[in-house]
Structure 1
Amino acid sequence: MARVAVVGSGIGGLTAAIALQRKGFQVDVYDQASELSEIGAGVSLGGNGMRVLDALGLGKAVRDISANLHRIEFHHWRGGDIFFEHPMGDWYEQRFGGPFLGLHRADFHQLLLSAYDGEPHLGHRCVAVDESPDGVGLTFADGSTAEADVVVGADGLRSAVRDHVTAPEEPVFSAMSCFRGLVPVDRVPGGDRFGLTFFLGPGRHLVAYPVRGGELINFVAYVPDPEWTLESWSARCEPAEAVAAFQGWSPVVTELLANSAETGRWALYDREPLRRWSTGRVTLLGDAAHPMLPHAGQGTNQAVEDAAALAAYLSIGLSFEKALQRYEQLRKTRTRQIQLGSRANATCFQVPDGPAADERNARLAGLPQMVGWIHEYDVYAAIETGSAA
């Protein structure tokens, strides 16, 4: 039985571990965290990601802990009026083969931990990768070591495994930060009617949607900020800072921000698309391979797609090197397109009132067609055909 070491126990790493176990691999997961704490943030899953979770037998459990986002709405930043809306719910599922869901990240993470057959090795910060023709050795900061046939770097934007695969390179700072939080639905004006909700304005925008069956509203509020460079899930700020950043906006926005019991704040980084993801026995997945800004809502979905493709190619009898090459070839073009598109969306969402906003609003009428290629994607069909589109 081949041994796979997954470095990183986030959503991408755990999904990969589960998918590999279902294919008969022995999988060990390592994470630098000493404990897996609950992170107050939401994630979204579209039809493309849900297709993988359904195939892994986790689809019903995911649906049970999530909120189905029944429509998408774009609101004017100040007046709050809707300038574009479109049904999702049943329409989306029929069109794209699965639901569009909002989840509390901690709920989703716990579900994946329960589905993984084993316990992650915590307190294991990877500091070195030693690859030979016969295997891969990992060295951790505490002096311990591990051996595997294949290593998967799922250790995020500042991946240690990445430095083994490709030349070190600094992340790209977007000069933007975001406030994040969760608010009980009854403390959000009109919160019980929220689907996937955008407020777009000059130099700023906010995205909000329900999670945990509609009990909570998750928000992410984006602001230009070249001074705030801290990229950390645990960084906190006062809700008043977020409210001040959106002074003059719709009361729905400012009340949502004000009612967050705990507001996180972090700087947004991505990387230039990589030319290479893999060596003979080591590869990358999710943010370690293609960190993207969150403006396309695809970070989680792309990591889940990666996991499915990686497990599939490693299980069909190819050499490890060939399997990793095929995985990289399938995934690289698609993730590059979404990375670059996510950058462009930030600019589109934050244009000032006037002709530029009017032009953007008119383009939104074609939104379902514009994003169809992302959401209708079937990673299993792509594996069968070898198509990266």
Structure 2
Amino acid sequence: MGEANLRVALVGAGIGGLGAALVLRRAGLQVEVYEQAAELSEVGAGIHLAPNGSRVLHRLGLEPRLREVAAQPQALQVRLWDRGVTVARQPMGAAWAAEFGAPHYTLHRADLHRILAEQVPAESVHLNHRCTGFAEDEQGVRIDFADGSSAHADVLVGADGVHSVIRQALAGSEQPQFAGTAALRGVVPAELVPELAVEDMYVWTGPSARLLVCPVQGGRGLAFVAVVPDSGDLRDSWSRQGDPAALAAAFADWEPTVRTLLGAATEAGHWSLYDREPLARWSTGRSTLLGDAAHPMLPHYGQGASQALEDAVALAACLGERTAGPAGIAAALRRYQELRLEHTTRVRGEALTGGSQRLGGRKEGEMSAMVEDIAWVQRYDVEQALAPAAAR
């Protein structure tokens, strides 16, 4: 094992960055986080924390905090878009926790972000630090910021999202492929939609759009994601604001409960969906990527947060078992990439056509096909996957 005082610089203080900071600190590494925003906050709406992700946070002792703010849906209902009839109901809750070894949570992105931020000392998170580039050599890596300052570390981890500066430096220019759709997301108070039980998740699939609804904020809110046709004229920013009135108008001929839900929305984020081909490599001698910076994927599998948390566990294990010196760091980052690249490439591929996209709502067997489709990734245990690699 290498020296314990390895200095790791993380660029990006989103869910992936803070999750990595937590796991790396627990592994005994020195971690500093650099974030371009002026305050530590998170935008967005609902988020899924699948069993493969929740088991990571449970092992870190965060189960009590998760249960305070998250919901654990008891079932997934598929309803007809025009008549509101429930055509399928898949038990979740305790059944899924037993089947996959951990719960499936739904929660507000900001709540998960806050839970992770609580675990990282404030003095280790440096705000107003927008990374503009980096340079590495045998002695370490220098990270440069827009204000002219710089920082030095032994390892650089880019957790700065789909438009990562670190990714661009490692992978060069890319041409994202527009998916033809956008995800419009928001949260409404559950009390405004009494027709929907806050214990369940819901999916409606129409001729050209799809609506997913899940409980958040301990059941006090209902988060929605409407997947609709989109022009793709604007950049694939997931923080751009949409027009709630236009959203409601797009679903004006859907069943009454849908109209009530979307009519109650006072804001909606507009995320034009783009896909990116997997990278052939994402690590160098002292630098690597994590989460969306390494493997951005469409949201239809609900795996973004869980994959970032798995990355963090794998990276911490590899760095913790490294041999001393620059060669040991480089070998650890290669091993991390090898452990995660094949798996995340498969998840990204399945997200193109799988998950809730399999639910048309009018054919028998669709629900069982969807559950079978996601079971392999829900059951995945990153620590078990690390064990065979450590034995080699």
TM-score, reference length from structure 2: 0.93
Q: Secondary structure at the match of 2:265?
A: coil
Q: Secondary structure at the match of 2:197?
A: helix
Kept after mapping to 2: 8 A contact 1:176/1:267 = yes
Equivalent residues in 2 for 1:1-389 (5 A)?
Answer: 1-119=5-123, 120-318=125-323, 319-345=328-354, 348-349=357-358, 358=362, 361-386=364-389
Q: What is the CA deviation profile of residues 95-151 of structure 1, one whole-angstrom value per residue up to 9, with x for unaligned ones?
A: 111111111111111111110123421111111110112211110111110011001
What is the one-letter code of the residue matched to 1:273? Answer: P
Q: How far apart, in 2, do the equivalents of 1:195 and 1:9 lie?
A: 31
Q: How far apart, in 1, do the equivalents of 2:356 and 2:47 lie?
A: 22
What is the one-letter code of the residue matched to 1:249? Answer: W
How far off is 1:203 after superposition?
1.5
Match of 1:354 in 2: none
Q: Secondary structure at the match of 1:72?
A: strand
Q: Percent identity?
A: 44
Following TM superposition, where does structure 1 have runs of at least 4 consecutive aligned residues deviating by more than 6 angstroms? Answer: none
Kept after mapping to 2: 8 A contact 1:309/1:383 = yes
Matched length: 381
Q: Secondary structure at the match of 1:291?
A: coil
Q: Secondary structure at the match of 2:365?
A: helix
Kept after mapping to 1: 8 A contact 2:140/2:154 = yes
Q: What is the CA deviation profile of residues 285-331 of structure 1, one whole-angstrom value per residue up to 9, with x for unaligned ones?
A: 11001111100111111111111111111101341111111111111
Q: How far apart, in 1, do the equivalents of 2:213 and 2:145 lie?
A: 39
Q: What is the CA deviation profile of residues 4-33 of structure 1, one whole-angstrom value per residue up to 9, with x for unaligned ones?
A: 000000001101001000111110001111
Which runs of 5 or more structure 1 residues have no equivalent in the other structure? 352-356
Q: Give the aligned CA root-mean-square deviation in angstroms.
A: 1.8
With 10-19 and 263-272 compared, the bigger mean Cα shift is at: 263-272
Q: What is the CA deviation profile of residues 327-351 of structure 1, one whole-angstrom value per residue up to 9, with x for unaligned ones?
A: 1111111111111111113894586
Q: How far apart, in 1, do the equivalents of 2:232 and 2:80 lie?
A: 27
Q: Secondary structure at the match of 2:288?
A: strand
TM-score, reference length from structure 1: 0.93
With 29-38 and 145-154 compared, the bigger mean Cα shift is at: 29-38
Q: How far apart, in 2, do the equivalents of 1:75 and 1:303 lie?
A: 31
Q: Secondary structure at the match of 1:183?
A: strand
Q: How far apart, in 2, do the equivalents of 1:30 and 1:118 lie?
A: 11
How far off is 1:368 after superposition?
2.7
Q: How far apart, in 2, do the equivalents of 1:25 and 1:187 lie?
A: 47
How far off is 1:374 after superposition?
0.6
What is the one-letter code of the residue matched to 2:374? Answer: V
How far off is 1:171 after superposition?
2.6
Kept after mapping to 1: 8 A contact 2:41/2:113 = no
How far off is 1:261 after superposition?
2.2
How far off is 1:172 after superposition?
2.5
What is the one-letter code of the residue matched to 2:335? Answer: R
Which runs of 5 or more structure 2 residues have no equivalent in the other structure? none
Kept after mapping to 1: 8 A contact 2:359/2:370 = no
With 96-105 and 164-173 compared, the bigger mean Cα shift is at: 164-173
What is the one-letter code of the residue matched to 1:324? Answer: L
Q: How far apart, in 2, do the equivalents of 1:244 and 1:349 lie?
A: 25
